Chain A
Amino acid sequence: MSKPQSETEAKRQSKQEDQRKDLDREQVPDRAVGLTIMCLAIVFVAVWMALQSPQQIDSEKTGFSSPAQAAITGFLANAWFLPDEPLLGFVQIPAGPFIMGSNPALDRLAYENERWSSNRRQGTVQIDDFYIGLFEVTAAQFRVFIAEHPDLANEVPAEIQGDMPITNVTWPEALAYARWLQQKLENSSDTPEELRSYLAAGGQVSIPSEAEWEKAARGADGRIFPWGNTPSAASANYGSSAMLPVGSRPCAECAFGLQDMSGNVWEITRSPLQAYPYDPNDDAENLSEDALWVMRGGSFSDGVGNVRAAVRGGVDPSVRNNSIGFRVVISKP
């Protein structure tokens, strides 16, 4: 301060200075002790903060730390909890055409967005062969992925476990799981030869396009439901109060033997929601619109109208919902 200090203040400061000098002379309590305590406090802070690595912070928040999970009947704990099936639960869908969209004359529950065009009710789409998961991706499968990506751990509800379908997963996270699974399958010597060859030939693990999904769900004959043309509560979990473990409503008569294509949880696809006719080549044409992706199959809480094979829902890519999950495919782009 530039202003002159008052006499009182000067005296006070001088006295305090004397006090301090006396203290330092007396060495009681020792200044070195104080300095040591301060240095120890700083070292403690440094060590403690070094322990607060981002990964630890995440796992502490979520309580999810170990990939170890209990064995689940019908699934291979040593193969990322994929189904204990010859092709790890992948089912081949042969190449060929199928009928896409709805014919309101046959399907009175059809929605307008299932119509092919202004002058056609349905279309025929040709797709190459591909593989699709027998079941929806389960919580156990997704948790193996999370164990390697702990930053996602706090996003998935802890109560979804085991062979329940994984839900509350965003569209990018579903894709990230698919990419991760591809790496695992490519790098594992236990991957079935058929899948290994398909991957080596350019096959990619992803979520299905809506055409792939619909063909897998209704076969080539254009049936309304995966099992036929009439509703069957015994073949799918819909109109109920809760989702069930995958495959809880066995459906041998369903197209390609796939389970839960109708009901249980909605399944997101890699196709943007846009008007038919379906053409994967126009997916990148409308970039100025907000992203909205097709989801298929309806969920446990939906009525019969929404579990038809042709029904098309839309989902924002950031949405987490307890009735939306996904299934993976291996297909060639």
Chain B
Amino acid sequence: MAISASFKNSIRNSKNSADKQTRASMAAFKFPLVMSISLILLSFVPRVQGNFALVWSFWGAAATLLLWQAYLIVNSKNKNEEHVFSVVLRPQHYIQAMVQFSVYAYWGYYWRPVYDHAWLMLAQLLFAYTFDMLLAWSRRREYNLGFGPFPIIFSINLFLWFRDDWFYMQFVMIAVGFMGKEYVRWNRDGRSSHIFNPSAFALGLFSLVLIATNTTGLTWGQDIASTLTLAPNIYTFLFLVGLIVMYHFSITLVASMAAITLFGVSALYSASTGVPYFLDSEIPAAVFLGLHLLITDPSTSPRTPLGKTFFGLLYGLGVFGLYTLLGAMGEPTFYDKLLVVPLLNLSVIAIDRAVRSIHSTALLNVWKESWLGGRANLAHMSIWIVIFASMSFLGKTDNKHQGDSLPFWEQACASDLSNACGRMLQLEATYCADNAAWACNEIGAHYREGMITASNQELSMAYFSRGCELKFQAACLNLLDTELVAREVPHELDLRLLLREGGQNLMTLSEQELVERACEHDWVFACENNGA
């Protein structure tokens, strides 16, 4: 429901006089002008001043907006055009924004770069409001001022943000998102509406470009995807805030079906191959976030209950398939949840049409609107709550995951289970990047031996170098002698990284607790030490 408080009356009343009209139109420009100047002022905060490229990104964005305003002002004076805005507060914007904000607050408490990013997020909001307003006026439309840009900016930043040196791309990404909303439209049920969820459109397009140009390193994408689990019980948290969105906007069928599909196919894969599909969880936390907050835009998803169910099902299958595809291509797998959304948005009309073509009343009434006295959404939510509770009870959400244990993957690789060696290498590379010297030495050894992967001496030397710089003596010896493959069990610091199960590094755990935990993870040396 929209709450509308119109500010435009004062402007409208002056329509009879062209002079007054121009003045009124000029008055409306104060808003984007203040926003643009605020963007410039933001560039003087220490967080931004610390990076020259960042400062120029802000100035460049502000200059673009100011030039655009100048053009519109001149144009509207010449043509006596009127530019107005009215305040329209829509719950789907501000509730979504509040939920997203709570995710930032919780996640950022455990991963500080999120809080450091706050100034940059504010800048994006200023840019988004101004850009959206100018775009509407350029199209000679009245602008609805509300919380619309919030969920778009928050949603984009929950998945991708550019590093400081390339931050100007963040502004371009936002601009593309809004332009996609304005220009890429179709006629749906007799009304012109945008095809793509604006944030998902921008994220999807930029993901494609980043993959094609092999420039993922310019963004924080990988870090974002892997740090959500630093916040304890993140699945439960996302589930709870997701319920708020579900309650207000009837997206339960979409989100829960996506989650159930992923849980299901993941479990099927695990049962048939003996190894988990995803490395660190049944559903990666970032995907779980995405299915609650990225695919649930009501205006770009199907309208019928069965259509929503299909939509969620396709998202789950899409993520599942893309994860494999991206992995096989050697690309970062975190793009899975981003690339699939624009494709789903495109299929919405087809889904709706397919559902309407079903003549089976029984099938169409799978999700009965009459449940709970017509409050079907509550019934859907109840079912989802039961399913999530069951998954949690079975340890499939926030608990330790089998895929977190390196000895498990070593064993699976030795047993030649499906893709286990590749997963083990992937996991070791991740831990090596986290500065676990043992993992660097292990992966270097694999590339030197060439038994479970193709031999690559250059790569092995790079990993040994890293392991050696992390003071792992075996890695240093491997660097010295190219015929040698020296190995050693993980050192204490390695264990503090290897056993974190996707959470915080275990820097405060006592040595005894560390050994016990290592034994729980099936590290044989730890069990022997523990026994001794």
Contacts and interface: CB of A to CB of B under 8 A. Distances in A.
A35 to B, nearest CB: 5
B528 interface: no
Given A45-B206, A171-B468, A317-B469, A12 B4 contact: yes
Nearest to A179: B461
Interface string B351-393: 0000000000000000000000000010000000000000000
B184 A288 contact: no
Interface string B471-510: 1111111011100001011010000000000000000000
Nearest to B487: A287
Contacts of B192: 17, 20-21, 24
Contacts of B468: 171-172, 291, 317-318
A38 B140 contact: no
Chain B contact-residue range equals 35 or more
A287 B88 contact: no
B488 A318 contact: no
Contact of A28 (B4, B140, B175, B476): B140
B217 interface: yes
Interface stretch (A47-55, A74-82, A120-128): A47-55
Contacts, number: 146
B209 interface: yes
Contacts of B205: 42
B454 interface: no
B449 interface: no
B471 A290 contact: yes
Contacts of B471: 290-292, 316-318
A86 interface: no
A41 B2 contact: no
B437 to A, nearest CB: 9
The majority secondary structure among interface residues of chain B is helix
A153 to B, nearest CB: 16
A16 B142 contact: yes
Contact of B4 (A9, A54, A171, A272): A9
A6 B469 contact: no
A8 B2 contact: yes
B1 A5 contact: yes
A1 B249 contact: yes
A108 B390 CA distance: 76
Nearest to A9: B2
B279 interface: no
B169 A287 contact: no
Nearest to A8: B4
B218 A35 contact: no
B250 A49 contact: no
Contacts of A19: 140-142
A323 interface: no
Contacts of A288: 473, 488-489, 491
A24 B191 CA distance: 13
B473 A290 contact: yes
Contacts of A179: 461
A175 B480 contact: yes
A24 B488 CA distance: 70
B465 interface: yes
Contacts of B218: 49, 52
Contacts of B464: 172
A24 to B, nearest CB: 8
Given A37-B179, A206-B480, A1 B250 contact: yes
A175 B461 CA distance: 10
A49 B213 contact: yes
Contact of B473 (A34, A52, A286): A286
B461 A176 contact: yes
Contacts of B469: 170-172, 317-318
15 contacts: A6-B2, A19-B141, A34-B183, A37-B179, A41-B172, A42-B205, A54-B217, A170-B469, A179-B461, A270-B480, A272-B473, A286-B473, A291-B475, A292-B471, A318-B470
Given A46-B209, A48-B169, A288-B491, 6 more contacts: A29-B138, A34-B182, A290-B491, A317-B476, A318-B468, A318-B471
A-B CB proximity, top 6 nearest: A172-B465, A318-B469, A38-B179, A290-B471, A9-B2, A49-B213
Interface of A: 1-3, 5-6, 8-9, 12, 16-17, 19-21, 23-24, 28-29, 31, 34-35, 37-38, 41-42, 44-46, 48-50, 52-54, 57, 170-173, 175-176, 179, 206, 270, 272, 283-284, 286-293, 316-318, 333
